Structure 1
Amino acid sequence: MSGSFWQSFLTTLEELKKQNPIYYSILSDLDVLEVSDDTVVFGCGSVGAKNYMQKKQNDFEGELSEFIKKNVSVVFVLREEKKQKKTPLLNYEPTKNDVVRAAGLRTNFTFESFAVSPTNQVAFAAAQAVSKQPGSSYNPLFIYGGVGVGKTHLAQATARAVLLENPDIGVFFCSGERFMNELIESIRTKTTPKFRKKYRGLNLIVVDDIQFIAGKRTVQEEFFHTFNSVVSSGGQIILTSDRPPHEIKNLEDRLRSRFSGGLIVDIQNPDFELRTAILLIKAREKNIDIGIDAAKKIAENVMDARALEGSLLTLYARTVDAGSEISLPSVERFLFQKKERRPKTSPQEAIKAVCSFYNIKPTQIKDKTRKSNIAFARQIAMFVLRTEMGLGFEEIARLLKRKDHTTVMYGVNKIKGILMKDTAIKEDVFAITSSLFPST
């Protein structure tokens, strides 16, 4: 075996150049100093580069052996000082953020930046337990919930904590879609063994939106074996989904059984206090100055957790351009303008939305019945028609077939009073208005 293989090997690493530029740069700078029948000695440009490659040695030996079709061992030594290239990157010791990014994780998804409230505290406690004893506590950890509630953040924070405590172990985060795409590509390029080695050799794998693989037979087959391989070797599995395992349609029973074999925790939609906390955390991360009253006002009017950050950034852009800070008056102006731009919705659609939410028929809400559940839904409809759509009391009375508009006035004021005290009803009203005006 001669040293001519090295440059040919480097040309096969274009994908690595994009995914892990530090690893690729260090590889590119290695010199082949000595080649024997089954050993290759590489010269490294710095102590940092040598230490880095020694951590990667097992994976590197496997990749190199596969390329030259022969099992080889590698040895890393320092080059002589006079031969060292003056490349700053070679003296660069990978930082914590480099390690985190190489595992597919976001550097800002940490336990410290995760806002905890009663809606997610069980999931948070479970994630922390897993981070302290991966592979033995709650395996798999299955986190489910709606869009924007923090599933991905919590899953990544768990993986990050494990990785930083044990930098040399294999940790990787991917979506269900990415797992599928990589599998398809490996089949197309006939590199399935490499794909399996990558995933089945991990110590911790996080798969986001695992429901994506449902109904895809080959992908489910591959993930089943990946799951078994990781768990049987003592590794940890963390999965996220928009629904619990038993509600994922077209998921194979054997996978459903595996997913249900650990701990299943849900994260509910953020309540008012959590939305306020999320806003303040996002503002601190982005060095945006916002008062508590302004944050509370946004949290009162924006239910979706992801939309909170969008509202914050939009407000910040407007206030910076105007040379002012995010104050309560500026938030109120923003919310008013946002409401003005809402798509047109008819009163009948609003009534239907209320009826659908409370599981009653539109004809019932217009009846004379005084059944408590129907009467309450009717008052909610009055409130929505008045406060969200700006209709007059007399018009609302006509739409709901009430004889007197004072009945409507009473109903609207009653709901206003309830909303001041009952956060659950407030959440219900927001859910109804969000279905009518998705952008709010």
Structure 2
Amino acid sequence: MPKTAGSVWKNCLDFIQDNISNQAYKTWFEPIEAVKLADNSLSISVPSKFFYEWLEEHYVDLLKSALTKEIGRGARLIYVIRMENTPDKQKAYTEKIPSSQRSHVASQSVEIATKQKNPELKNPFIIPGIRNLKIDSQLNSNYGFESFVEGDSNRLARSASMAVANKPGGTSFNPLLIFGGVGLGKTHLAHAVGLEVKEKYPDKTVLYISAEKFTQQHIESVRKNNRNDFIHFYQIIDVLIVDDIQLLSGKKGTQDVFFHIFNHLHQNGKQVILTSDKAPVDMQEIEQRLLSRFKWGLSAELLQPDLETRLSIIQNKLYRDGVDMPEDVINYLAENIQSNIRELEGALISLIAHSSFSRSDVSIELAEQVVKNYVKKSKKQISIDHIQKVVSDYFQLDVEILQSKTRKRNIVQARQLAMFFSKKMTNNSLTAIGKQIGKRDHATVLHACKTVDNLQLTNKQFKRFVEDIDKKLKQS
């Protein structure tokens, strides 16, 4: 039976599949189609110029072995690059090979055929000529480790970030997921890792991208029918940083693409860094297969900074800006703005600006005025401690009793209500809430929230408890 392009390529694929990982086979060989067999030359169709270059760089020896096994020592492989927007899909021409590459390509007996005379790889950043690709990392140079103040609230996340920056892709922290409430430094840490990697490993490709921007790029790639180029572009990144990954919730198509990109990067020893406003266990409408991968590495939480850390943040900011400020004013700011770092630094900047514009000294009186106006403009954030106090007072309990291990019904319900309102009114994770309310785990908090939701629907007295406490918290 005479050989056909299809039969030869099928046998080649069987050989290739036995010699590489299943994921690599699906990513790089399943999309290839056999086109033509003429003499000792097999033509195969690949999705893009980048696809061809990746095969040449990583799998040329394997392809040569497979083809020689099927056709013989004089076997030649011709790549036909599919260009989606070319009207005449049968037209092809032979691309000239640069002299610097001729000896390498000739030794492999490879020619290139393409369907467009000036093929340009379409990717999210519109960069032609992927071989000499230089990607703008999109990093903010102001967000280095030197300007990130370490404290008890962020020590794990900062230490893990430093470890990743020193050895990207070479630690067990892959992916590194940094999560926590608004303004606690997630984005700062993510940029710091990227900047440190670029400093220590100039040859590594680092890219920071928001999940929202990533989603927009994916939608655009689907619209322009160049989704393969979009995927292949991200698969060449050495350190991929995706900010606010929770924003992929409900976006199934984008989640599917990110799943394949993540797998490829992880299996090839590349580093993935993610930030989120919540822990993986709290993310809604994210596919389980993706959530399971988020848990492969380390999830490090950023908590609200304690007083000592807030003081250090102010002092560090003043030192970097070359500004002196009375110690009593520094203490006043640190004691009165507790919610997050962003608000703390914002109030500090406002205070300096007021002092400069009014040509007056920085004083406690001016600080009181600025903080009063600043906190009034931003919604006051209720703390877990405050919620526990309000709930305990409502049921005439001590907070220590509410946090205890007793299973008395009235105390259990009070504890569950404290957990319910902590989840509803704060940005803390289930883990952080459980830790502060009697050292419970996240599953206990999740169960408490579901119980409160159910009891509100079936028990009128319990519903009144919820309404009364809600009113007291909003008035406080």
Q: Which residue of 2 aligns with 1:129?
A: 163
Looking at structure 2, the residues matched to 194 and 358 of structure 1 have their Cα atoms a distance apart, in angstroms, of 55
Is 1:161 paired with 2:192?
A: no
Q: Does the 8 Å contact 1:360/1:374 carry over to 2?
A: no
1:104 aligned partner, one-letter code? Q
- Root-mean-square deviation (Å): 4.0
The 1:376–1:129 alpha-carbon spacing in structure 2 relative to 1, beyond 3 Å, is closer
Q: Which residue of 1 aligns with 2:139?
A: 105
2:119 aligned partner, one-letter code? K
Looking at structure 1, the residues matched to 350 and 120 of structure 2 have their Cα atoms a distance apart, in angstroms, of 58
Q: Which residue of 2 aligns with 1:237?
A: 272
Q: Which residue of 1 aligns with 2:364?
A: 328
1:37 aligned partner, one-letter code? K
1:321 aligned partner, one-letter code? F
Is 1:68 paired with 2:115?
A: no
The 1:74–1:116 alpha-carbon spacing in structure 2 relative to 1, beyond 3 Å, is closer
Looking at structure 1, the residues matched to 297 and 119 of structure 2 have their Cα atoms a distance apart, in angstroms, of 41
Deviation at 1:333, TM superposition (A): 3.7
Deviation at 1:436, TM superposition (A): 5.1
**SS across alignment from 1:205:** strand
Q: Does the 8 Å contact 1:203/1:236 carry over to 2?
A: yes
Q: Does the 8 Å contact 2:307/2:335 carry over to 1?
A: yes
Q: Which residue of 1 aligns with 2:398?
A: 372
Q: Which residue of 2 aligns with 1:314?
A: 350
Deviation at 1:212, TM superposition (A): 0.8
2:224 aligned partner, one-letter code? T
Q: Which residue of 1 aligns with 2:245?
A: 210
Looking at structure 2, the residues matched to 214 and 283 of structure 1 have their Cα atoms a distance apart, in angstroms, of 39
Is 1:226 paired with 2:226?
A: no
The 1:372–1:109 alpha-carbon spacing in structure 2 relative to 1, beyond 3 Å, is same
Deviates more, 1:257-266 or 1:354-363: 354-363
Looking at structure 2, the residues matched to 276 and 65 of structure 1 have their Cα atoms a distance apart, in angstroms, of 63
Deviation at 1:73, TM superposition (A): 9.2
Number of residue pairs matched by the alignment: 293
Q: Does the 8 Å contact 1:140/1:259 carry over to 2?
A: yes
Cα displacement string for residues 263-316 of structure 1 (whole angstroms, at most 9, x for unaligned residues): 111111111111122222223333433233312211111112211122112111
The 1:75–1:229 alpha-carbon spacing in structure 2 relative to 1, beyond 3 Å, is closer
Alignment of 1:4-403 (within 5 A): 37-39=96-98, 68-69=118-119, 102-137=136-171, 138-303=173-338, 304-336=340-372, 356-358=387-389, 360=391, 364-365=395-396, 371-373=397-399
Q: Which residue of 2 aligns with 1:49?
A: none
Deviation at 1:213, TM superposition (A): 0.5
Looking at structure 1, the residues matched to 292 and 274 of structure 2 have their Cα atoms a distance apart, in angstroms, of 14
Deviation at 1:66, TM superposition (A): 8.1
Looking at structure 1, the residues matched to 352 and 260 of structure 2 have their Cα atoms a distance apart, in angstroms, of 48
The 1:200–1:375 alpha-carbon spacing in structure 2 relative to 1, beyond 3 Å, is closer
Deviation at 1:224, TM superposition (A): 0.3
Cα displacement string for residues 390-416 of structure 1 (whole angstroms, at most 9, x for unaligned residues): xxxxxxxxxxxxxxxxxxxxxxxxxxx
Q: Does the 8 Å contact 1:342/1:437 carry over to 2?
A: no
Deviation at 1:356, TM superposition (A): 4.7
Q: Does the 8 Å contact 2:347/2:374 carry over to 1?
A: no
The 1:288–1:185 alpha-carbon spacing in structure 2 relative to 1, beyond 3 Å, is farther
Q: Which residue of 1 aligns with 2:414?
A: none
**SS across alignment from 2:141:** coil
Deviation at 1:354, TM superposition (A): 8.9
Q: Which residue of 1 aligns with 2:45?
A: none
2:391 aligned partner, one-letter code? I
Looking at structure 2, the residues matched to 160 and 344 of structure 1 have their Cα atoms a distance apart, in angstroms, of 33
Q: Which residue of 2 aligns with 1:85?
A: none
Deviation at 1:230, TM superposition (A): 1.1
1:245 aligned partner, one-letter code? P
Deviation at 1:171, TM superposition (A): 0.5
Q: Does the 8 Å contact 2:329/2:364 carry over to 1?
A: yes
Deviation at 1:359, TM superposition (A): 6.8
Q: Which runs of 5+ in 1 are unaligned?
A: 1-35, 42-63, 77-98, 366-370, 378-423, 426-431
Identical aligned residues as a percent: 32
2:360 aligned partner, one-letter code? S
Q: Does the 8 Å contact 1:343/1:437 carry over to 2?
A: no
**TM-score of the superposition, structure 2-length normalised?**
0.54
The 1:334–1:184 alpha-carbon spacing in structure 2 relative to 1, beyond 3 Å, is same
Deviation at 1:225, TM superposition (A): 0.5
2:226 aligned partner, one-letter code? T
2:207 aligned partner, one-letter code? F
Cα displacement string for residues 208-240 of structure 1 (whole angstroms, at most 9, x for unaligned residues): 111111221101100001101111221000111
The 1:67–1:164 alpha-carbon spacing in structure 2 relative to 1, beyond 3 Å, is farther
Looking at structure 2, the residues matched to 344 and 127 of structure 1 have their Cα atoms a distance apart, in angstroms, of 31
Deviation at 1:75, TM superposition (A): 11
1:68 aligned partner, one-letter code? N
1:109 aligned partner, one-letter code? Y
The 1:185–1:285 alpha-carbon spacing in structure 2 relative to 1, beyond 3 Å, is farther
1:172 aligned partner, one-letter code? L
**SS across alignment from 1:255:** helix
1:213 aligned partner, one-letter code? L
